[in-house]
């Protein structure tokens, strides 16, 4: 598993691009790196590009992820656009996570299958 975290000045967002198989430990470190970059650049907006990543997480891990994200301080002023490949063999896992966020009232995260739509949504709003 590898990832790159960068700040897109023109959009005022942090973009995370991941590749490989994501396990629980990698997810925690990726999240820490992204949050740190958001703090450094004083932005609550993120584009998390998982088009070349496959989650290697159980249903219980995915179910608990929204609460762990919220515990990190993400809230109403945050926007996280999560981008997945439309033909990903793990598409159901991405959709399950997005649905779980919505069920918990965490509307700061949305799932996208189109890069331009994800970038546009993450780039507008608070911050």
Question: Domain map of the chain by residue range?
Answer: 9-123
- pTM for this structure? 0.85
CATH superfamily name and code, 9-123: STAS domain (3.30.750.24)
Give the model's pLDDT for residue 82. Answer: 92
In angstroms, the CA 70 to CA 31 distance is 12
Q: What is the pLDDT of residues 61-118, one digit of tens each?
A: 655 555 556 566 655 678 889 999 999 998 988 888 788 877 777 778 899 999 999 9
If DSSP codes are grouped into helix, strand and coil, which group holds residue 32?
Answer: helix
């Amino acid at each position: 598993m590898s990832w790159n975290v960068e700040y897109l000045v023109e959009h005022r967002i942090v973009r995370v691009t991941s590749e490989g198989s994501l396990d629980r430990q990698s997810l925690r470190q990726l999240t820490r790196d992204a949050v740190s970059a958001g703090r450094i650049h004083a932005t609550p907006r993120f584009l998390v590009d998982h088009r070349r990543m496959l989650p290697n997480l159980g249903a219980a891990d995915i179910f608990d992820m929204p609460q762990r994200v919220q515990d990190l301080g993400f809230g109403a002023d945050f926007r996280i656009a999560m981008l997945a490949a439309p033909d990903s063999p793990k598409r159901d896992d991405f959709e399950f996570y997005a649905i779980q966020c919505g069920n918990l009232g965490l509307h700061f995260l949305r799932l996208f299958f189109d890069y331009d739509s994800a970038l546009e949504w993450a780039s507008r709003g608070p911050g």
